[in-house]
Amino acid sequence: MNAKTILQFSVGPIGAGLLSLITLPFIAWFFTVEDVGRMTMLQVVLGLAVSLFSLSMHQAYVREYHEEKDKAALLKISMMPGLILLILTTLLVLILPFSISYLLFGIDSILLTFLLFVGIFTTYLINFLAHVIRMQERGLAFSATQIAPKLFLLILISFIMLLNITAEFKVLMLMNTVAAVLSLFIFSWLTKDTLSVAVKKTIDVKLLRRMLTFSLPLVAGGIAYWGLTTMDRLFLRSLSGFEELGIYALATALASAVAVINSIFSSLWHPTLYKWVKEGVDNNKMQRVIENVVLAVAFIWSLVGLLSFILPVFLPSNYLGVEYLVVGCIAMPLFYLISEPTGAGIGITRRSSYIFIASVVALLVNAVMNYLLIPDYGASGATIASVIAFFVFFTIKTESSAMLWFSFPRFKIYIVVISYMIATIVMVLSKANIGNFYIVWIVLFLSALTLYYKRLCEAICLIKAYLIKD
């Protein structure tokens, strides 16, 4: 991809991240901590729905996109199995003799149950349509789809202040659902040419079988990864209640602004990687990508560690503790970001079962550590458990890729990430009360620059050459 395309793909995640940073204080000031915790449970369920009902066919769609000429047929084959399964499951759940909304949110409400299922179907469809736009390399369209849900939600939440609407969870969930539905209309319009053709296509059973062979091992892995990313919230919900969950949820939501970088990289990385696979992968090129990502992660981690103290200025007093929790919460997307290039060999060799192994092992580590740490340390314990679990996920994925593909140098990578992980755990346990701790983040970043000095110089030279050219 050229610089223009990269910029177009970057506008959406960056804009969405900025809108999230604006929206979060609105939610924190207008709604209770418990309602923020309930909103987290909604996100947990929506994440599970995508992991389970998609059957990971969106990943198979990405994997086969450059191999198949009929893109519309490929999309229909990707979407139909999971959509049928979702419809059947919805009908089954609706006849069960208990309240889904009470189980999840502690509120017995038919409206909440209805909004929940509307959100699940909307999220399912958006997931596939976003991959269509992404694989077509329509950067501005992709960016629009990233910004739209956040912008709609911010506009709807502003009505609370303008119209003096009662700030309760039903209102918050209604606004979230309406924003998602409006976003789906935009996605559908942007992909209308592909969708209109896809509806008329017949199912290629041979292609369906090949895609399911690739995707089904990823389903278990996807569910395990969902558990890995949400286990902390479930344990906090059961062991600490909605208030502690709300504080932790805000920390993870703030950390999601860092995940913007993850989103940009993933949007660019997977299409580029599989193009390289088709053309013949240069191992040296892959090594450069890995080292540049490590440097970027070191910079982001240190920057958040240095600036986290300013967060309480923008939040109500009942969210004390967010400033040190957020440093731990950013570790999760950053570990995943590094694992994208270091684990590339798994996708290249189509050995997707290794992602399942990494997710399950990390999930078990997370469950045990949450059980042990949350009763005594609350949200801090959940943060530490997730940091260590994601390190395990990253390690297994990296080592599996090195075994399946080529054994790239990893010693310096582990020095950097383990050092940052230890510093983060110390900060969380001490509740950021160690004097002059900011020095640690500066030293860690300078150490990473020293370890990858050659790559740093190369990057600087490339930037200079690009600026001179322009």
Spell out the domain ranges in the chain: 1-203, 218-470
Give me the pLDDT at residue 425, please. 93
Q: Tally Cβ neighbours within 10 Å of residue 370.
A: 23
Residue 1 has pLDDT above 60, yes or no: no
pLDDT one-digit tens code per residue, 213-261:
878 777 776 677 677 777 777 777 777 666 677 777 777 777 777 777 7
Give me the pLDDT at residue 102, please. 78
Confidence label for 67 from pLDDT (cuts 50, 70 and 90): confident
Residue 303: left if φ>0, alpha if ψ -120 to 50, beta else—which one? alpha
CA dist., res. 2 & res. 15, Å (int): 20
Six token digits for residue 383 = 């943060």
- Of 320, 326, 288, 334, which Cα lies nearest the Cα of 305? 326
Of 31-35, 322-326, 399-403, which range is least confident? 31-35
Question: Chain centroid to CA 284: how far?
Answer: 28
Query: What does the pLDDT average to over 31-57?
Result: 78
Confidence label for 470 from pLDDT (cuts 50, 70 and 90): low
Q: Tally Cβ neighbours within 10 Å of residue 413.
A: 22
Of 43-52, 318-327, 387-396, 444-453, which range is least confident? 318-327
CA dist., res. 44 & res. 394, Å (int): 22
462 vs 293, more confident = 293
Signed CA dihedral, 191, 218, 231, 320: sign only = negative
Average pLDDT score, the chain? 80
Angle subtended at Cα 181 by Cα 176 and Cα 185, rounded to the nearest 5 degrees: 145
CA dist., res. 56 & res. 46, Å (int): 15
284 contacts 269 by C-beta, under 8 angstroms: no
Q: Letter for the amino acid at 281?
A: V
Query: What does the pLDDT average to over 312-317?
Result: 67
84 vs 29, more confident = 84
116 contacts 101 by C-beta, under 8 angstroms: yes
Contacts of 282 (CB under 8 A, 6+ apart): 276
Confidence label for 267 from pLDDT (cuts 50, 70 and 90): low
In the chain, pLDDT over 90 holds for what percent of residues?
Answer: 12
Give me the pLDDT at residue 241, please. 63
pLDDT one-digit tens code per residue, 386-395:
999 999 999 9
Q: Is 470 exposed, middle or buried (0-12, 13-18, 19+ CB in 10 A)?
A: exposed
pLDDT one-digit tens code per residue, 404-453:
887 888 899 999 999 999 999 999 888 777 778 889 999 999 999 999 88
Q: What is the DSSP string of 121-134?
A: HHHHHHHHHHHHHH
- Of 412, 408, 370, 411, which Cα lies nearest the Cα of 390? 370
Confidence label for 301 from pLDDT (cuts 50, 70 and 90): very high
pLDDT one-digit tens code per residue, 68-120:
777 888 888 888 888 888 899 888 887 877 777 777 777 777 888 888 889 89
Residue 316, helix vs strand vs coil = coil
3-state helix, strand, coil in the chain (%, to 5): 85, 0, 15
